[in-house]
Chain A
Amino acid sequence: MRRLRWFTGLICVASATALLGQNIAVVADHLYTMADGTQGGPGVVLIRDGKIEAVRNAPHQQPPDGYTVLKGVYVTPGLIDADTTAGISGAYNIPADQDQDEATDPNTADVRTFDSFNPNERLLKVLNQYGVTTVQSAPGPRNPIAGRAGIFKTAGTGSGPATVEQLAIRQESAMVFNLGDTPKATYGKKEKAPTTRMKTAEIIRHALLDAKAYEEKWDKWKKDGTDISKQPSRDMKLEALLAVVDGRLPAIFNAYRADDIDTAIRIGSEFHLHYIVASATEGYLIADAIRRAGVPCLTGPVMQRMESLQTANATFENPALLKRAGIPIALMTGYEGYVPKNRVLLFEAGIAAANGLGMEEALRTATADAAQILGVDDQVGSLAPGKDADIALFDGDPFEYTSHVLAVLTSGQVSYQRR
């Protein structure tokens, strides 16, 4: 019966384009808004012009006339992958579609995901079909200073191919710094710096100091007058890092081992950065230090392989242990160099749910908490009036292996529906 109900709901949807500009009512047996209020009861979400118009938490809600009805057993906000290379690291895994690592210089603060992001990358579509509607897409793990991440929707709203401008929520969301094994493995091979963790830290500190000096130089010039011949030379890298030093742009330190996470905390506090730790594989081993520093963690992938020394101590329980320690966390999938080319946040969150986090906390971590940490909670991450209508509909507990995504709405449009 339950199956029949949602099915008839979906039949109303002749095609995604038919819903352009339409009002939609999403009816749920179990509605998880991840906004204030009780979770998991029956409810209706009304959508108008791509935004959530109203949320009604009550049994037997009849959608008003003029709304196309979609029904789901479980209905949740679209999931947010807090740190991934989706969009810049393509499914084919050949040089032609790999744009995540500009490993020609350990400092590529001047590059941006935004300028590499392929809005029509097939993996984005795959993620969208599993309910992931927002990703922070970040440069890969190889450069100590890797460049700027951006935050994007995984599906557009037009009938044709999207542009990166259309998908971007934040063109520049953070500067990515990489610690640990990968940068030194990358440059050590080329007999270039860094070949040690010491040098990686030094490169980052040096660049941040240079950015400060650069600012002072400009301030001095501005104060002294406007003689163009004495104007300091512009430096794209330092200008980008200046935003980090000034606290206008968050820093993401990608760190796996406990001592690398500690290095992130050390540099973050030295320069008074607004910073976040990503990966945080061994975070559970120094949870107290992370909590004391007040730094949020983007952690994952939960099913991370233990193949390298820096990930050898990965545990499925890391998200639960960090959360229990009082650390704000979001979940991420990071970078994959082989198969699967991109992990799926829905699956990663499921393993976290089953290993101490529980269903509702895992869902909150993958939606509202992620939005808050990334600073986009005014727009995505929960179902509340005025927010983007990014919604995932499931035929059971979203994290159960054998559940299905029935439909996905991205910015109020049906971007996927199960046939």
Chain B
Amino acid sequence: MRFRTAESGRLSLCLWAVLCAGIALCPQTFAGQATLVIHGAKLYPISGPPIEHGVLLVADGKIVAVGEEGKVKIPRGTTVEDATGKVVMPGIVDSHSHIGIIANPSASDSGDANESSGPIEPGLRALDAIDPADPNIRMATAGGVTTANIMPGSGNVMGGQTAYVKLRGNTIEQMLIPGSIGGMKMANGENPKHYGAKDKAPMTRMEEAALARGIYQKATQYKAKWEAYNKAVATGDKTAKPPDRDLELEPVVEILEGKRVVHNHTHRADDIMTAIRLSDEFRYRLVVHHGTESCEVADELAKRHIAVSFTIVDSPGGKLEAMNLDLSCPARLEKAGVKVALNTDDPITSSRLILRQAALAVRGGMSEEAALKGLTIYPAEMLDLGDRIGTLEAGKDADFVVLSGPPFGVYTHVLQTWIEGQKVFDRSNPQDLRYATGGFGVADRFPASARGGN
């Protein structure tokens, strides 16, 4: 990809470099100033039809304009990046990932996804265990992922609070999306039953449901106590005593208040119906995750507007609840009117190949349009971030991916990944390339003949 500047200016290029360096520290210094234009690529805005020869104008980490070549006014001094023949789509949103919380490579003491000391752990926060230096995060950017829902594992009925992050920064604070509180991980079916082997609950699906119902009942009561207290204070009652704070119940109250979405690991159709039953009973917002047999209850999901974050693996089985995995399931959900995201469940599948996840859904009969939405706006909506990311529209974060060819082609490579106007992955950089292909840990041991090309 070639760089040129719209003006003759070596000066503007220098200015660009300075601005780039300062972007994280003082974004307000060039608010409203156009700094970068991606030019000539086929654009998939997702919010509308593809644009064959498009222009994407970025300033201050935000998208300023999207349109056809010649129809978008490019301000003087803008750095122009020629992407003729390339494809540009929004940054990919992975609605189900464990990067940073399941280390890579993993050792017995480095996995932090499952707190296996108890099945109900709403007080846990994924953000307290995410390692921003985990190479999986850079590998995810090599796959075009810009935003991820990093979750605790599925070993617990209620596994903890998930984190909505951008894949940049050296600390979890820099990664977290401002204003987001994350979701809540829940799981039913096979996985939480592992406690049975320790003679602890749950050892049946019945108990899993009972435990879930129990925590929601407690939270309902806790919420009522606080409401009563707040009401008393509001009416001037100076003797009113606040209930004791409960770190476990507070996030569950956020679920009941609709502020926090439940991300529920659930495969089998009857388990999915159990998850739905609980969400009906306690009136909370639910996203079905994995959803292996979700197409069997597609109408139940559609009528409640429950979305599915689907995980595709290459063959059925490995566990009983995944025996009926079929590539046609996402297509069947689409047909029933269910919004479907395609996730990686990294490390189950590699974030580097998240485009492949959606491509396999297309192989199974899903439309390319729905599959593209399933990587972008639908998962963004599942994370309540649909107004901020997931499409290429003016005002949204400048998160985008430059591809070498059609999004669902096996020979297509992610060339660049940008988050809020900053390039976080560039395949032409040999070090970055290793995160796309592998072997980054031994890059300096590579014999000269082993340097790979495209």
Chain A proximity mask over B313-355: 1 for CB below 8 Å, otherwise 0: 1111111101100000000000000000000000110100100
Chain B proximity mask over A100-141: 1 for CB below 8 Å, otherwise 0: 000000000000000000000011001100000000000000
Question: Are the C-beta atoms of A287 and B408 separated by less than 8 Å?
Answer: no
Is B33 an interface position by the 8 A CB rule?
A: no
23 A-B residue pairings within 8 Å (CB atoms) = A93-B320, A126-B315, A127-B315, A284-B446, A287-B450, A305-B350, A313-B442, A316-B437, A317-B437, A317-B452, A321-B449, A339-B348, A343-B314, A344-B315, A351-B353, A351-B410, A353-B410, A354-B410, A354-B413, A400-B410, A401-B359, A401-B409, A403-B363
A sample of 11 more A-B contacts (CB under 8 A), given A306-B104, A317-B439, A340-B313, is A90-B317, A91-B323, A93-B319, A94-B320, A284-B446, A315-B434, A336-B318, A339-B348, A340-B315, A341-B316, A401-B410
Question: Are the C-beta atoms of B439 and A315 separated by less than 8 Å?
Answer: yes
Is A308 an interface position by the 8 A CB rule?
A: yes
Question: Are the C-beta atoms of B319 and A288 separated by less than 8 Å?
Answer: no
Question: Are the C-beta atoms of A402 and B363 separated by less than 8 Å?
Answer: yes
Identify A401's interface contact among B106, B316, B362, B442, CB under 8 A: B362
Question: Are the C-beta atoms of B452 and A340 separated by less than 8 Å?
Answer: no
- Give the chain A neighbours of B315 by CB distance below 8 A: 91, 123, 126-127, 340-344
- Give the chain A neighbours of B360 by CB distance below 8 A: 401
A285 to B442, CA, bound (A): 9
A338 to B450, CA, bound (A): 32
Q: Assuming A91-B316, A341-B315, is B105 touching A308 (CB within 8 A)? A: yes
Is A16 an interface position by the 8 A CB rule?
A: no
A344 to B438, CA, bound (A): 20
Is A47 an interface position by the 8 A CB rule?
A: no
**Nearest-Cβ distance from residue B106 to partner chain A, whole angstroms:** 5
Chain B proximity mask over A316-336: 1 for CB below 8 Å, otherwise 0: 111011001100000000001
Question: Are the C-beta atoms of B317 and A341 separated by less than 8 Å?
Answer: yes
A residues in contact (CB < 8 Å) with B: 90-94, 122-123, 126-127, 282, 284-285, 287-288, 303, 305-309, 311-318, 320-321, 324-325, 336, 338-344, 347, 350-351, 353-356, 397, 399-404
A287 to B322, CA, bound (A): 39
Smallest CB-CB separation from A344: which chain B residue? B314
- Give the chain A neighbours of B452 by CB distance below 8 A: 315, 317, 320-321, 355-356
A404 to B347, CA, bound (A): 26
Is B447 an interface position by the 8 A CB rule?
A: yes
Q: Assuming A306-B438, A315-B438, is B348 touching A401 (CB within 8 A)? A: no
**Nearest-Cβ distance from residue A90 to partner chain B, whole angstroms:** 7
> Which residues of chain B from 417 to 454 have a CB within 8 Å of any chain A CB?
434, 437-439, 441-442, 445-447, 449-450, 452-453
Identify B106's interface contact among A94, A308, A354, A404, CB under 8 A: A308
Is B356 an interface position by the 8 A CB rule?
A: yes
**Nearest-Cβ distance from residue A65 to partner chain B, whole angstroms:** 36
Q: Assuming A93-B319, A123-B317, A317-B452, is B439 touching A284 (CB within 8 A)? A: yes
Smallest CB-CB separation from A315: which chain B residue? B438
Smallest CB-CB separation from B356: which chain A residue? A401
Question: Are the C-beta atoms of B437 and A340 separated by less than 8 Å?
Answer: no
Q: Is the interface of B mostly helix, strand, loop or mixed?
A: loop
Question: Are the C-beta atoms of A307 and B106 separated by less than 8 Å?
Answer: yes
**Nearest-Cβ distance from residue B367 to partner chain A, whole angstroms:** 11
- Give the chain A neighbours of B356 by CB distance below 8 A: 401
**Nearest-Cβ distance from residue B242 to partner chain A, whole angstroms:** 47
Q: Assuming A317-B438, A354-B411, A399-B410, is B105 touching A309 (CB within 8 A)? A: yes
A252 to B387, CA, bound (A): 55
> Which residues of chain B from 368 to 417 have a CB within 8 Å of any chain A CB?
408-411, 413
**Nearest-Cβ distance from residue A125 to partner chain B, whole angstroms:** 10
Identify B318's interface contact among A285, A340, A355, A401, CB under 8 A: A340
Smallest CB-CB separation from B411: which chain A residue? A354
Question: Are the C-beta atoms of B445 and A93 separated by less than 8 Å?
Answer: no
- Give the chain B neighbours of A325 by CB distance below 8 A: 449
Counting residue pairs across A and B whose Cβ atoms lie within 8 Å, the total is: 136
> Which residues of chain B from 233 to 258 have a CB within 8 Å of any chain A CB?
none
Smallest CB-CB separation from A126: which chain B residue? B315
A189 to B221, CA, bound (A): 47
Output the residue of A94, A311, A339, A343 with the most chain B CB within 10 A.
A339
B interface residues, how many (CB within 8 angstroms): 41
A91 to B313, CA, bound (A): 13
Q: Assuming A313-B438, A340-B313, A344-B314, is B449 touching A303 (CB within 8 A)? A: no
**Nearest-Cβ distance from residue B141 to partner chain A, whole angstroms:** 16
Q: A-B pairs with the 5 shortest C-beta distances?
A: A91-B317, A315-B438, A339-B318, A401-B359, A341-B318
Question: Are the C-beta atoms of B317 and A284 separated by less than 8 Å?
Answer: no
Output the residue of B318, B447, B449 with the most chain A CB within 10 A.
B318
Question: Are the C-beta atoms of B105 and A306 separated by less than 8 Å?
Answer: yes
Question: Are the C-beta atoms of B105 and A92 separated by less than 8 Å?
Answer: no
- Give the chain B neighbours of A403 by CB distance below 8 A: 363
A401 to B320, CA, bound (A): 26
Smallest CB-CB separation from A356: which chain B residue? B452
Question: Are the C-beta atoms of A312 and B410 separated by less than 8 Å?
Answer: no
A324 to B449, CA, bound (A): 9
Question: Are the C-beta atoms of B441 and A126 separated by less than 8 Å?
Answer: no
- Give the chain A neighbours of B453 by CB distance below 8 A: 356
**Nearest-Cβ distance from residue B113 to partner chain A, whole angstroms:** 13
**Nearest-Cβ distance from residue B217 to partner chain A, whole angstroms:** 34
A314 to B435, CA, bound (A): 11
Smallest CB-CB separation from B323: which chain A residue? A91
Smallest CB-CB separation from B107: which chain A residue? A309
Q: Assuming A314-B439, A315-B437, is B362 touching A402 (CB within 8 A)? A: yes
**Nearest-Cβ distance from residue B427 to partner chain A, whole angstroms:** 12
Q: Assuming A126-B316, A311-B105, A401-B359, is B409 touching A92 (CB within 8 A)? A: no
- Give the chain A neighbours of B409 by CB distance below 8 A: 400-401
Q: Assuming A92-B317, A315-B437, A404-B363, is B410 touching A350 (CB within 8 A)? A: yes
Question: Are the C-beta atoms of B353 and A303 separated by less than 8 Å?
Answer: yes
**Nearest-Cβ distance from residue A191 to partner chain B, whole angstroms:** 17
- Give the chain B neighbours of A315 by CB distance below 8 A: 434, 437-439, 452
Question: Are the C-beta atoms of A401 and B408 separated by less than 8 Å?
Answer: yes
Question: Are the C-beta atoms of A92 and B320 separated by less than 8 Å?
Answer: yes
A91 to B319, CA, bound (A): 7
A76 to B360, CA, bound (A): 21
- Give the chain B neighbours of A288 by CB distance below 8 A: 447
A354 to B437, CA, bound (A): 11
- Give the chain A neighbours of B438 by CB distance below 8 A: 306, 313-318
> Which residues of chain B from 105 to 151 have a CB within 8 Å of any chain A CB?
105-107
Output the residue of A90, A122, A400, A403 with the most chain B CB within 10 A.
A400
Question: Are the C-beta atoms of B437 and A355 separated by less than 8 Å?
Answer: yes
- Give the chain A neighbours of B322 by CB distance below 8 A: 339
Output the residue of A288, A340, A354 with the most chain B CB within 10 A.
A340
- Give the chain A neighbours of B450 by CB distance below 8 A: 284-285, 287, 317, 321
A288 to B450, CA, bound (A): 11
- Give the chain B neighbours of A354 by CB distance below 8 A: 410-411, 413
- Give the chain B neighbours of A342 by CB distance below 8 A: 314-315, 317
**Nearest-Cβ distance from residue A83 to partner chain B, whole angstroms:** 16
- Give the chain B neighbours of A341 by CB distance below 8 A: 315-318
**Nearest-Cβ distance from residue B316 to partner chain A, whole angstroms:** 6
**Nearest-Cβ distance from residue A82 to partner chain B, whole angstroms:** 17
A305 to B408, CA, bound (A): 22
